[in-house]
Amino acid sequence: MATTHKTLRLVTGTALTLGMAALWAGSIYHYGSADASPTDMVADAQAHPGALLVDAVSSLLETVLLTIAAIGVAAIVRGRGRTFVLVACGVLAVGLPSHVMGATMHLTMHGLATSSLPTAVQVSVVDSVNGLGAVYFALILPFLLGLILLTAALWRARVVGWQPFAILVADIVVGMTVNGSHTPSDWMWWIDPIVTIAAFAWLAVGLARYRVDDPEPVDAPVEPALTAA
């Protein structure tokens, strides 16, 4: 049983770290602006069709890895903070489909870019499905909230200290602003992926060292006293 628990902690921690790395992999391979117009999106897809496959694979891989991690964390943590952990994993699960939607969009763009359809038709198709971006960004909110809650819950459960929670909050509040105005060609852009991957690697180390607190002893039932006849 001890070996099983050790393996579960190792797999869960690895999935957490690799899942966060997969989140950034597509942007590292080829950076695309989130606010690009349909015309710009089609032009970029035609110029870099292979990057769309990388984006799709990294999004799907991230979804699978973080799903495994959420299930593992829910199974590992017992006692103190367990309810908080379950809530955090639930919120994260609500947001994870956003990346499946992202992968589907990347595959669609790849199919269009490698097709024989005229560019004007491709732009029209992208423009017609662009409204789904609102659903995507709506699901991103619980995803980000789930990441924050997960670090807070593991702090509450004494799996890790407060540092990963503080790092992630600071990154989302400040780092997203930095990331929004820079590209991978600027060194400042790399702050965002480095600190988030490091924060989740910190969680992985904490999970590897985590031991469930010994339950409080339960008083044995008191045998009723025998009365003399």
**Rounded alpha-carbon distances, angstroms, from residue 116 to 7, 38, 110, 119, 123:** 49, 18, 12, 9, 13
| Contact yes or no for 8/44 (Cβ under 8 A) | no
Measured distance CA(176)–CA(133) in Å, rounded: 18
pLDDT at 226 over 80: no
Mean pLDDT within 47-58? 92
For residue 56, the one-letter residue type is A
**pLDDT > 60? residue 227:** no
Give the range with max mean pLDDT: 18-32, 95-109, 122-136, 154-168. 154-168
Q: How far is CA 173 from the centre of its chain?
A: 17
Sign of the Cα pseudo-torsion (87, 91, 96, 101, in order): positive
pLDDT at 217: 41
Distances (CA, A) of 56 to 45, 80, 149, 192, 194: 13, 38, 26, 21, 21
What per-residue confidence (pLDDT) applies to 219?
43
Quote the Cα angle for 139-11-102, to 5°: 25
Q: For the segment 57-103, what is each residue's pLDDT rounded down to a tens digit?
A: 999 999 999 999 999 999 999 988 999 999 999 999 999 999 998 89
What is the structure's pLDDT at 177? 60
- The confidence score (pLDDT) of residue 214 equals 42
The lowest-confidence range among 21-35, 36-50, 173-187 is 173-187
